[in-house]
Amino acid sequence: MDGAKQQWAKAVVLSLAHYAKLQRRSFGWILFDAVVHRGNVYPAGNVSPEQMLELVEARAGGGTDFEKPLRKALEMVKQAGLKKADICFITDGECAVSSEFLQEFKAAKKALEINVFTVLCDTGSSSDSAIQEFSDRIEKASTFTAEEAEAKLFRHL
């Protein structure tokens, strides 16, 4: 993602990190494109200003693979011993997942009672066909207004 899509993604990540800090909720972050570059967990919302800056400055390259970051998210949830965790997946939707992965992911979602909420950065080209397969809820960044963005992002967390 680039340009406005990337700006939306960074704004959403920062909002989620700030919300986790205020609520003292654990927060995990995964930077990905065709590979997972980094994944960090901030227990009980312990996100420092320096770490917030790191979230903003982080960049990935090109290409996309949804399966690797979703596997990493499951791994992070399991390692933390969480149930009823929320995964916020931020993407332009320009990818697909295999039917084998989808079956496996849905089973893990059910077993761990995970909710996947996807923010589709839909400025320019985007697609929601693949994310519909594994998301419980999809919010399109293009529909966010200053008045509604907070409610759309946080009402189900």
- 115 vs 92, higher pLDDT: 115
pLDDT of 8 > 90? The answer is no
Q: Are 97 and 66 in contact (CB under 8 A)?
A: yes
What are the tens digits of pLDDT across the range 60-81? 877 789 999 999 999 999 998 8
pLDDT at position 157, please? 62
CA Rg value for the chain: 15
Residue 35: pLDDT band with limits 50, 70, 90: very high
Give the residue numbers spanning the domain of 93.
Answer: 3-154
Alpha carbon distances (Å) from 18 to 57, 99, 154: 16, 35, 11
Number of compact structural domains in the chain? 1
Compute the average pLDDT of residues 22-27.
91
Q: What is the pLDDT of residues 93-123, one digit of tens each?
A: 888 899 999 999 999 999 999 999 999 988 7
The pLDDT-based confidence of 156 (bands split at 50, 70, 90) is low
Report whether 83 contacts 2 (CB < 8 A): no
Q: 97: Cβ–Cβ under 8 A, 6 or more apart, which residues?
A: 66, 67, 70, 105, 130, 133, 134
**For the chain, what is the mean pLDDT?**
89
How far, in Å, CA of 151 to CA of 71, rounded?
A: 28
CATH of the domain at 119: 3.40.50.410
